[in-house]
Structure 1
Amino acid sequence: MEPTDADARLTDLEIKASFAEDLLDTLNEIVARQQAQIDRLTTELSTLRNQMPTADGAPIFRSLRDELPPHY
């Protein structure tokens, strides 16, 4: 039996759908890893903020420009 044009088109669509499904799975894994990393960084940032010295209950923000290296 000779494959028809419709059969070839259907096969092409099935191949494209398979690649699209694989790509979607890969992107899903990447998004899940990124969200886990964002969650870890958010937790770390919160921990660092809690370690900052405070004055009168308000955090003290200093600029790195205020801290000159010893050779100046």
Structure 2
Amino acid sequence: MEHPNNTEQRLTDLEIKASFTEDLVDSLNQIVVRQQQQIDLLMAEVSHLRRQEPDGGAGGFRSLREELPPHY
């Protein structure tokens, strides 16, 4: 049979670990929520940019030569 103090110490250690784990899970959850908000914002921005394209963003590839000023 285990010593009563040893059992109490083990229980206290487990409670401490559970508390730290709960804090970590809460922190990670806040990070996930913040990242999802950023993803939603970026998706809305991409959608907005696609609507600004003359043909809905389905334009063909333009070569860099087309982008050069005429004096080159």
TM-score, normalisation: structure 1: 0.79
* RMSD value, Cα: 2.4
Q: CA deviation at 1:69?
A: 5.5
1:63/1:14 Cα in 2 relative to 1: closer, same or farther (>3 Å)?
Answer: farther
Distance 1:58 1:43 in 2: 14
Q: Aligned AA for 1:50? A: R
1:64/1:22 Cα in 2 relative to 1: closer, same or farther (>3 Å)?
Answer: farther
Which structure has the highest helix share of the two? 2
Distance 1:70 1:30 in 2: 49
Give the alignment of 1:1-72 within 5 angstroms: 4-54=5-55, 59-63=58-62, 65-66=64-65, 67-68=67-68, 72=72
Which structure has the highest strand share of the two? 1
Identity of aligned residues (%): 59
Q: Which runs of 4+ in 1 moved over 2 A?
A: 61-66, 68-72
TM-score, normalisation: structure 2: 0.79
Instruction: Give aligned pairs, total.
Output: 68
User: Residue deviations 1:10-68, cap 9 Å, x none?
Assistant: 000000000000000000000000000000000000000010012xx772133462423
